[in-house]
Structure formats: C-alpha cells, structure tokens
C-alpha cells in the first residue's frame, strides 16, 4: 500500500503503562536496556501453599493530576482497569495534539477493550456477601462489564462514533487495533481509539492459571532463583508465563485526516489477518496460526522477505512458543527475521499484552532498535535470531506483530514505517 494513499490507516499517538513503569519514555529506556519488570507478587495475600509468588505489577498512579483519579471517582470505579485505561487514553491524546471536538466526535470510534474486565469488583462483592452479608455497591456490576472500558473511554473523550468491545483473550489489544483500522477503511470513522487494559492479579485468576499449567511455577525441589529470571520466551528452560498487568492505547486515523489536522503519522497499519483455530480451547493450532501470519503479510502487499522484524506472541509456554516458531519457520522458509519477545521484560498482561508490545514495537521502528529477549537460553529445536540482554540496532520498515488468544483467537498485523 502506498504511503501516499489518503485512506491509509496511520498511527497518530500511543501511550502505555506496564511493569516497567508508568512513563512511556522511561519504560522504553528500560526495555532496550533489557531491564526486568518482574518481581514478587504483592497485590494479593499469599500463603506458602499458594502456587504463584511472582508477577509483573504496575506502579500506582493515584498521585497524578487527573480528575478520574480523584477519591470520589475511584469509589465508583474501584477496578484498576478504568483508571489505567483512561490514563493511557488521556496521555495518548495529549501527545498526539488531537482534540476530539464536537465536530470530530461523531467520526471517532472506540475499540479500547479488556480480556478479563473488572472481575475483581464482582469477586470482592461476593466475598462481602459471604463474609458479612453486605450487599454489593451499585457500581459492582458496571465495573464487571467488559465493554464498560470502552464506554468509559467514550465518556472521557466525548467520542460518539462506533464503539465495540473486541474481546479475543490474549489477542485483545491487537484485535482492537485491527478493528479500529477496519472501521476507518470502511469509512465509518476518521479516528479510532484502540487498545486494552487488564489487571488480573486476583487470587482465583492467578491460581487458576497455575492449576492449568500455564503460569510459571518453579520445579519442585529446584534451587530458588530470582523472580526476574522467570519469564523466558523461546528458551529451552521455559516453564510458562508470568502473569502481569498493564494498559496501552493506540490512536489511529486515516492519513487524510491526519494531514488535514497537522498530526504526525509515520507508522501505518499495512496489513492484518484474523483466524480461528477451531482446534482446542488453549492449545494453538499450527495451520491456522501459520495462515494468519501469511494472510497479514499478503494483505500488506509485500512478500515475507520484506519483513524486517517479528514482535512475537511468545508467552514462554512449551507448546505455544514451539507452534509459533514452527509457523514462522515455514512462512519465512527457515530465514526468520530477527525476533523480540516483550513478555520476557514485562510478563503476560493478558489482553493488554499485545497493545503494550505493539507500542514497544512502534518505538523500536522509530528508533531503529529491536528490544532484547532476556533470560534466553537457546532451544535446539527453536532456531531464532534475537538480541539478548541488550537491544540491537536494526532498521525496520516492516514489523510483523503476532498475538494469539485462548479459544483459538489469532490476530496478526504488519506495520510499516513511512
């Protein structure tokens, strides 16, 4: 697709919070230096019997000067997904210099979403009923509505265009970008507020990932190691993902709109695909994963040889990482471009992970840097080219982003630097 196409979909702004911090510039500095965002799990009460003791936790933001962080507002919306989501949206808009006026609002779409939503609010209400008979607060049910994240974004910004909650499990963030781009290409909007927020560090969710052998649990009887070493995608000693939290906002617009309003747009959504495994509720399917990658590259109008980097899904599960590698190996004929796997740095933030990882990918494209895969020990059956511990200088015109979710929800996108 020509970069001069006025209908091309471009990125006009973005912002994220992650276990690496709440300031995006600071997070990026830590990412390209190979800093670790994983530590001891502190947000839930732990016992020796509780299976998970490490996590990627996001620093508090209540000290920041935003109206949605005031105590009265917090009392109504106690689930952290709301304040962190709204923070990323407010800062992305401020950074882009876009003001959603009454004229722009009807053509502004919202696809910002969440995979887990505000389940913590319902869990708290249930405990209060069982423990003391106290009835839920009026805000409990609205907090638990997955689509309410997009609703709150709409209220904050005044956007009155199409709104949809794109829930595709761990692929939610990237799917949100794809759906935003689709609405723009269909001329249903000029601007799309995309992204995802997830804060799933609550006891039954964390423990549930452990009992299904997805979350990292150290080998029984093995020497204790630093929490920062636990997230190791593609590594021979990978043992599952580290549960984390975070939020990311990506603002899209048509190039025509961006130019008319003096907005930057040097990154383009060049192509995408979504497929469904129709295979297993958590185990990925090689063929549909491979096809998703192939179709996204073809939709960008390029060949596999033109992809300069891969921002992998790579959760650090034994099966998932191998299937993704096998698909990439076949698509690229054994010549896979350099790969990064951001979950080594920040853990797995559920549906928000692909939004945050895509934003780190954008920074890499803009600065000609590929963040490292830390904690990496080569697996002889997964032959990849990746920086380790420190970033690599790499010019990237085209980046492939992969994201795969429970239920067989696959999303892949190609981004172009113009």
Output the CA–CA distances (angstroms, integers) from residue 24 to 95, 234, 302, in the order listed.
Answer: 11, 26, 31
**Which residues pair with residue 54 across a beta bridge?**
40
Q: Exactly one of 53, 194, 313, 412 is catalytic; which is it?
A: 313
Of 408, 206, 196, 190, residue with least CA distance to 292 = 408
Neighbouring CB atoms inside 10 A of 55's CB total: 27
User: Which 8-state DSSP code applies to residue 212?
Assistant: T
403 phi and psi, to 5 degrees? -155, 130
Would you state the torsion angle of the CA atoms of residues 358, 363, 365, 367, taken in this order, to the nearest 10 degrees? -170
Let me know if 313 is a catalytic residue.
yes
Let me know if 170 is a catalytic residue.
yes
How do beta strands 309-311 and 398-405 pair? parallel
**Which residues pair with residue 248 across a beta bridge?**
16, 196
Of 14, 31, 29, 85, residue with least CA distance to 342 = 31
Q: Exactly one of 53, 170, 386, 409 is catalytic; which is it?
A: 170
Q: Exactly one of 249, 348, 386, 409 is catalytic; which is it?
A: 348
- Label each residue of 314-368 as H, E or C: CCCCHHHHHHHHHHHHHHCCCCCCCEECCHHHHCECHHHHHHHHHHHHHHHHHHC
Q: What angle (nearest 5°) sits at the alpha carbon of residue 286, between those of residues 282 and 291?
A: 115
The alpha carbon dihedral of 184, 177, 391, 327 has a sign of: negative
CA distance 311 to 173: 14
Of 416, 413, 409, residue with least CA distance to 177 = 413
Catalytic center residues: 170, 313, 348
């Amino acid at each position: 697709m020509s970069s001069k196409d006025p209908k091309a979909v471009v990125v006009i702004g973005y912002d994220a919070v992650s276990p690496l911090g709440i300031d995006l510039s600071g997070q990026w500095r830590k990412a390209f230096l190979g800093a670790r965002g994983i530590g001891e799990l502190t947000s839930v009460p732990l016992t020796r019997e509780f299976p998970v003791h490490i996590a990627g936790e996001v620093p508090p933001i209540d000290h920041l000067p935003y109206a949605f962080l005031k105590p009265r507002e917090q009392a109504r919306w106690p689930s952290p997904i709301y304040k962190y989501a709204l923070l990323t949206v407010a800062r992305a808009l401020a950074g882009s210099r876009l003001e959603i006026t009454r004229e722009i609002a009807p053509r502004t779409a919202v696809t910002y979403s969440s995979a887990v939503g505000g389940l913590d609010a319902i869990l708290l209400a249930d405990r209060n009923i069982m423990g003391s008979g106290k009835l839920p607060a009026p805000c409990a049910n609205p907090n638990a509505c997955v689509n309410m994240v997009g609703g709150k974004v709409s209220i904050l910004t005044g956007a009155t265009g199409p709104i949809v909650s794109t829930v595709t499990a761990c692929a939610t963030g990237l799917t949100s970008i794809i759906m935003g781009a689709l609405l723009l290409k269909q001329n249903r909007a000029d601007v799309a507020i995309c992204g995802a927020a997830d804060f799933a560090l609550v006891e039954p969710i964390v423990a549930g990932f452990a009992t299904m052998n997805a979350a990292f649990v150290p080998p029984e009887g093995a020497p204790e190691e630093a929490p920062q070493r636990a997230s190791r995608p593609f590594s021979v000693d990978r043992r599952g993902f580290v549960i984390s939290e975070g939020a990311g906002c990506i603002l899209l617009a048509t190039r025509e709109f961006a130019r008319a309003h003096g907005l930057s747009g040097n990154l383009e959504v060049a192509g995408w695909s979504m497929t469904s495994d129709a295979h297993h509720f958590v185990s990925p399917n090689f063929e549909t994963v491979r096809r998703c990658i192939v179709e996204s590259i073809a939709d960008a109008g390029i060949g596999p040889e033109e992809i300069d980097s891969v921002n992998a899904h790579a959760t650090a599960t034994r099966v998932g990482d191998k299937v993704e590698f096998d698909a990439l190996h076949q698509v690229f004929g054994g010549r896979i471009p350099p790969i990064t796997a951001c979950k080594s740095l920040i853990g797995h933030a559920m549906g928000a992970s692909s939004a945050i990882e895509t934003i780190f990918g954008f920074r890499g494209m803009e600065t000609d840097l590929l963040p490292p895969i830390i904690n990496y020990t080569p697996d002889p059956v997964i032959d990849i080219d990746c920086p380790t511990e420190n970033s690599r200088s790499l010019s990237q015109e085209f980046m492939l982003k992969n994201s795969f979710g429970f239920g067989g929800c696959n999303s892949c996108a190609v981004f172009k630097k113009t």
